[in-house]
Amino acid sequence: MSKKRVIILDYGAGNLRSVARAVEHVGFTPDVSDDPRALDDADAVIMPGVGAAADTMRNLNERNFSEPLREYIAADRPFLGVCMGLQALLTASDEGGDHPCLDIVEGRVRRFERIDNMKIPHMGWNAVEQLREHPIFAGIPDRSYFYFVHGYYPDPEDDSVVIGRTEYGVPFASVIARDNLVATQFHPEKSGKAGLQLYRNFLEGAIQ
């Protein structure tokens, strides 16, 4: 069992238990914490998330996570964002109006526009095209399927941070990475073998 201090942020998101089980499954002992000070000595931080941008940012701000998160990521320490944990990294979200987010990665979160009979939200399994090699993809075949649940999608300004892309009416960034930051629009903890491999890659220090 690894002795790394793996922190799963508890800021009111609903999928903490499933993320913790996935982390345990790949051989790590997570610490689910609602204390921003837990980031000080973390070896890796996972920020899960479900729900709306406004609620997410309100919870992060009320629980004093926003600035410690910015500082943690600016220090180039290992960070994994999941679903809303990716969207909250961007500058702002169009969800429910115009909501400022953490502004760690420049860009906006945009609403899917309905095309023909396309269902919104995007819910279910979809392929992720790997745009370039990255340690987070180790042992995961290109165009593997992952599980998505979202009505809005991330649109970073800098294309170079986009390492995984998925099609749903439009092509969108389904995996982003910069230095020791990586984030996915899908839920690895709901994505079977490929999702567990992604957690394993992150937690074994693949993000350099």
Strand pairing of 170-178 and 181-184? antiparallel
Torsion angles phi and psi, residue 171, rounded to 5: -75, 135
In whole angstroms, what is the distance from residue 34 CA to residue 12 CA? 9
In whole angstroms, what is the distance from residue 183 CA to residue 53 CA? 16
DSSP track, 140-205: --TTEEEEEEESEEEEES-GGGEEEEEEESEEEEEEEEETTEEEESSBGGGSHHHHHHHHHHHHTT
In whole angstroms, what is the distance from residue 114 CA to residue 147 CA? 20
Catalytic, 189? Answer: yes
CB atoms within 10 A of CB 42: 19
Residue of 101, 122, 150, 189 marked active site: 189
- Indicate the SS3 state at residue 71: helix
Which residue in the block uniquely carries the two structure tokens 């980031």?
39
Residue of 99, 150, 187, 204 marked active site: 187
Residue of 62, 71, 83, 113 marked active site: 83
- Look up residue 137 and give its DSSP letter: G
Catalytic, 101? Answer: no
Strand pairing partners for 6? 30, 44
Catalytic, 133? Answer: no
- Active-site positions? 83, 187, 189
